[in-house]
Each structure stands twice: as structure tokens, then as C-alpha cells.
Amino acid sequence: MYNIDSYQYGLPPDRIAQQPAPSRELSRLLALDSITGAIRDLCFTDIVDFFSPGDLLVVNNTRVFPARLLGRKETGGRVELLILHYPQEIVTAAGSRNQVDVTGLLKSSKGFRPGQKIIFAEDLTAEVIELFAAGKARLNLHFQGELAPLLDKYGQLPLPPYIKREQGEEPWDRERYQTVFAAETGAIAAPTAGLHFTEELLAAIDKKGVERESVTLHVGYGTFAPVRVQDIRQHQIHSEFLTVSAQTAGKINEVRNRGGRIWAVGTTTVRALEFAADATGAVQAKEGWCDLYMYPGYRFKVVSNLITNFHLPGSSLLFMVSALVGRERILTAYAHAVKSGYRFFSYGDAMIISGA
């Protein structure tokens, strides 16, 4: 149960979605009954039928920022920087130029040294402050004006490494790699289960008497980090910043106490809710860094119904959904999805796990 080889599955490369469906809601939906193991093939618009009046839909409202910057060294060498956390702006005493420290991943054909300057644009540069292992570095960004518009102008969305494009970001990625409820900037990866929802679909869910609340969990680079240990219990999970408001916590507890169901949109929402729950399952208001790692054997306190995408073989997210419904049941569903031509990963199709 804890050997990583037990969480592998075959996936032809052409099943990895390189672009989204023509319209958000036109994705396919694999429905898995967590009690019986029954599988149904549906369209994502059919999701409305799963909800009952009094249920609560909880979404992650994080917003992806253009964290990938392409630049050059003063010697001319090309540089790529992936900013790992959304920077907070700091104004210098002079007030004419802003600067902020950031942590990021640096790539170049040659190495870097502390003090080295990187030029992204005339009004956006960086100085290398400290170097760490695996390309990680601390840098000081120097910029004129406000930083957010400069990142929008010069940065690219950090699409997952399995989306392989010769030109990198496409114009439509700016819209389609964000959820329609994205509000709080800070993620470097989208909470992809939310990408399938449209305003019209949410309105149809609202009409059924389903309430909606948001959490914020800024998805980090660790969501793509490979598990490098054989025993999955030894994996060190990454930390991500979250906010669960008192309003959201109170509403979740109210719905659960009256017998309503909680529907989590995405594994990031699951992570936030489970991290914020106390030993009794009551969700508390919380803000801070979340390092909760869920794998088979974990007992869920809040979530039993989940909308999610398909996850990479041997990944921590696959461990999480296996913990929710069982490894064999998940892998059986994944084998069905592969055979049935479902599209996988961030821009792929969706899965709904229900039964409780």
C-alpha cells in the first residue's frame, strides 16, 4: 500500500491534454461512486444533477500570476526565472524605484553567481543574492512603477511541464488557465478542477438551492514535484499558503450539522478544509502555511465528495484520492478513463467522486 510502484498506471502520451476543451463545460466527466465503485461516463454539465438543495460547494479562489520571466545576463546568456511565491512590493527609501526579494528557480546554459544581474526589461531587472540546490535561488527584483502590471506585461503563466509548446504560452491561456471565480492572486499553478465551471453552470447549481463558499490556497511548484522515495510515507510534502475565513468555516460547520453535503472542488480545496479542521471535524478559521500530506490510511474529517481532474502516476495527489476511495478503486477508474479516451491532467477532463 505504501510502495510507490503501487500507484503507477500506463498513460499514452496523446492522452495528456495540451490545450483545453473548446469550452470549459464541454469536458467529459467520469463519475465514481465511492461506495459501490460504479463508474459512469458523463459530460461535465451533468454535474448539476449530483447536487441537492442544502448542499455546499466549496471552491479555491486563488488566481495564477505570470510567474515565468525570460531574460538575459549582462553577458547575453539567456535566463529563465520561475518565481515561486507572489512577491510583496517594498518601496525603497528614495521612493523612485521599487525592489523586493523573491525565491525562484533559475535556468541558464551556464551557472549563476551572487551579485549577478539579470535583465528582463528596461524597467524590470534582478540581482542574484543567494544560490541553493536544484536551481533554487533568492533574488532581488528591481522595478519601476508597480510590479503587478510589469509581471502581466513581461511574464508568462507557468504552465505545467507536461504541456509542451514550442511557443510557450498561447493568448487564450490567460483566460482558460484561470477559474471563473479566481480572485486572490498568488498561485503558480491553477486549481484545475475549477477550470470546468462557467458562470452559467454555477448559476444552474445555485438554482438547485446549493450554497457556495471559497477558500484560498495558493498552489505552489510542489504540486508538480516528483515523489523520489520508494515508501510514500517518507515523502516530504510542500507547503502552500492558505486562508479559510470565519464565514466559510462557519457555513461548512452549519451545513454539516444539519446533514448537508460538502462538495470540494479540487484537491487544493480538500487540503485546505482538512488542514483547517479540528479533531472533531469542525472547521476553524485559519491562515498560514499548510503542509498536510494525505495518503492511504489518512482519515478524512470534512470531505467525502470531490470534483477533481486526473492526476499523474506516482504523485502525491494520486495518493490523496486513493486515500479517499481506495487505491484499487481509483486505479480501476483511471484504467477505464485511459481506455475510454479521457484527456488527462491540467487541461484534461474531470472526475466526480460521490456517495456519502
List beta partners, residue 242: 217, 288
Domain of 150, CATH number, reads 2.40.10.240
For the chain, strand residue ranges (E) read: 28-33, 39-43, 56-60, 62-64, 68-73, 78-83, 90-91, 98-107, 117-121, 124-131, 136-143, 184-187, 211-217, 240-244, 262-265, 286-290, 305-309, 350-354
Reported residue count of the chain is 356
**Is there a single domain that holds both residue 348 and residue 219?**
yes
What's the domain count of the chain? 2
Cell of 48: 448539476
**Is there a single domain that holds both residue 19 and residue 88?**
no
Half-sphere exposure of 63 (CA within 13 A, CB side): 12
**Is there a single domain that holds both residue 232 and residue 263?**
yes
Place of cell 491534454: 17
pLDDT of amino acid 64: 97
**Is there a single domain that holds both residue 242 and residue 348?**
yes
Q: Is the distance from CB of 356 to CB of 34 less than 8 angstroms?
A: yes
Cell of 271: 487540503
pLDDT of amino acid 270: 98
Phi-psi region of 314 (alpha: psi -120 to 50; beta: other; left: phi over 0): left
Q: Does 165 fall in a domain?
A: no
pLDDT of amino acid 303: 96
Q: Does 164 fall in a domain?
A: no
pLDDT of amino acid 156: 95
pLDDT of amino acid 91: 45
**Is there a single domain that holds both residue 54 and residue 192?**
yes
Domain of 186? 4-64+173-354
Q: Is the distance from CB of 145 to CB of 122 less than 8 angstroms?
A: no
User: With 0-12 CB in 10 A as exposed, 13-18 as middle and 19+ as buried, what is 38?
Assistant: exposed
**Is there a single domain that holds both residue 80 and residue 124?**
yes
**Is there a single domain that holds both residue 212 and residue 336?**
yes
pLDDT of amino acid 90: 52
How many angstroms separate the Cα of 79 from the Cα of each of 107, 116, 142, 165, 220?
Answer: 6, 12, 16, 18, 21
Please, which residues have CB within 8 angstroms of residue 241's CB and are 6 or more apart in sequence?
A: 85, 186, 217, 218, 288, 289, 290
C-alpha–C-alpha distance, residues 16 and 331, integer Å: 17
pLDDT of amino acid 22: 95
Q: Does 162 fall in a domain?
A: no
pLDDT of amino acid 61: 99
Write out the chain's pLDDT in tens, 356 residues.
999 999 999 999 999 999 999 999 999 999 999 999 999 999 999 999 999 999 999 999 999 999 999 999 999 999 999 999 998 765 444 444 588 999 999 999 888 999 999 999 999 999 999 999 989 999 999 999 889 999 999 999 999 989 988 777 888 999 999 999 999 999 999 999 999 999 999 999 999 999 999 999 999 988 778 899 999 999 999 899 999 999 999 999 999 999 999 999 999 999 999 999 999 999 999 999 999 999 999 999 999 999 999 999 999 999 999 999 999 999 999 999 999 999 999 999 999 999 86
**Is there a single domain that holds both residue 112 and residue 193?**
no
Last residue of a domain, one of 124, 154, 184: 154
Q: Is the distance from CB of 62 to CB of 218 less than 8 angstroms?
A: yes
Q: Does 159 fall in a domain?
A: no
Q: At what angle do helices 316-325 and 327-339 cross, to 10 degrees?
A: 110
**Is there a single domain that holds both residue 251 and residue 117?**
no
pLDDT of amino acid 223: 78
Domain of 52, CATH number, reads 3.40.1780.10
**Is there a single domain that holds both residue 206 and residue 349?**
yes
Q: Does 303 fall in a domain?
A: yes
H-type alpha helices, the chain: 147-154, 173-176, 199-207, 246-257, 267-276, 316-325, 327-339
User: If you compute the radius of gyration of the chain from its CA atoms, what whole number of angstroms results?
Assistant: 21
Q: Does 161 fall in a domain?
A: no
Please, which residues have CB within 8 angstroms of residue 230's CB and are 6 or more apart in sequence?
A: 3, 4, 5
Last residue of a domain, one of 154, 183, 215: 154
pLDDT of amino acid 315: 97
Last residue of a domain, one of 154, 186, 203: 154
**Is there a single domain that holds both residue 202 and residue 60?**
yes
**Is there a single domain that holds both residue 114 and residue 232?**
no
